[in-house]
């Protein structure tokens, strides 16, 4: 019974951490345009970059990642499976924050943060794949999708089988959240890195 309670606590903490809309908070404090009224309307770093504030975009990327890592570490201190539960909850919290009528970001930065908490070697490989794919094809979205698809396989090969299944579910959600990007990639209309939208 205690284990179930700890898992529920891990779930709640993870969701609440993940649902902190750092992109929206930072841009509001800085007095920039409301993120939900520009670009994709998402609260993540990519949309923050559309405000013209690279510093705020970098801070958003870092904080959105750290909340995923923090959730995993706190959850892992509560129960053996608490890290995975809290990490998944943080990822869901970022994508569907209760404070913003469940309209959040696409989850890639928080995905990476969760991955760092679960297995830093897998997270470093994620970064390498993301950067390499983005540099090769010049599409940020394709880099993120390629890295997300690779992450569960890397975890499985490293012997983290339970974590691999959780991250595979997260990767499927990332693909769903990027469905419009995928449609544009297929049509050849996706914006390349460095290209003005």
pLDDT of residue 151 exceeding 60, the answer is yes
pLDDT of residue 23 exceeding 60, the answer is yes
Per-residue b/e over 19-36, b at no fewer than 16 CB within 10 Å? Answer: bbbbbbebbeeeebeebb
pLDDT band at 14 (very low <50, low <70, confident <90, very high): very high
Q: Are 140 and 178 in contact (CB under 8 A)?
A: no
Give dist(CA 27, CA 37) in Å, integer.
Answer: 12
pLDDT at position 66 is 98
Taking alpha carbons only, the member of 15, 4, 23 closest to residue 109 is 23
Query: Model pTM greater than 0.95?
Result: no
Enumerate the domain spans of the chain.
2-187
pLDDT at position 3 is 83
pLDDT at position 37 is 77
Give dist(CA 10, CA 6) in Å, integer.
Answer: 6
pLDDT at position 32 is 82
pLDDT at position 1 is 56
Taking alpha carbons only, the member of 34, 24, 114 closest to residue 76 is 114
Per-residue b/e over 92-129, b at no fewer than 16 CB within 10 Å? Answer: bbbbbbeeeeeebbbbbbbbbbbbbbbbeebbebbeeb
Q: What is the pLDDT of residues 56-67, one digit of tens each?
A: 999 999 999 999
Q: What is the DSSP string of 81-111?
A: THHHHHHHHHHHHHHS-GGGTT-----HHHH
* C-alpha separations of 119 from 101, 131, 181 in Å: 32, 19, 28
pLDDT of residue 120 exceeding 70, the answer is yes
Taking alpha carbons only, the member of 181, 178, 151 closest to residue 68 is 151
pLDDT band at 197 (very low <50, low <70, confident <90, very high): low
Within the chain, where are the H helices? 2-18, 22-30, 45-49, 54-78, 82-95, 108-118, 120-137, 140-157, 161-177, 179-187
* C-alpha separations of 1 from 6, 14, 72, 139 in Å: 9, 20, 21, 48
């Amino acid at each position: 019974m205690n284990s179930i309670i700890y898992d529920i606590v891990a779930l709640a903490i993870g969701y609440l951490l993940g649902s902190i809309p750092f992109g929206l908070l930072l841009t509001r404090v800085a007095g920039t345009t409301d993120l939900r009224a520009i670009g994709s309307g998402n609260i993540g770093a990519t949309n923050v970059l559309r405000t013209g504030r690279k510093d705020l975009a970098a801070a958003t990327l870092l904080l959105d990642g750290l909340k995923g890592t923090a959730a995993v570490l706190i959850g892992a201190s509560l129960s053996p499976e608490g890290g995975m539960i809290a990490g998944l909850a943080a990822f869901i919290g970022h994508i569907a924050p209760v404070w913003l009528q469940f309209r959040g970001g696409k989850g890639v930065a928080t995905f990476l943060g969760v991955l760092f908490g679960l297995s830093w070697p897998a997270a470093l490989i994620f970064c390498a794949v993301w950067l390499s794919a983005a540099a090769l094809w010049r599409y940020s979205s394709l880099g993120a999708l390629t890295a997300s698809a690779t992450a569960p396989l890397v975890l499985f090969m490293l012997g983290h089988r339970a974590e691999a299944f959780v991250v595979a579910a997260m990767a499927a959600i990332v693909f769903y959240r990027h469905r419009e990007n995928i449609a544009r990639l297929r049509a050849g209309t996706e914006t390349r890195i460095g290209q003005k939208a």
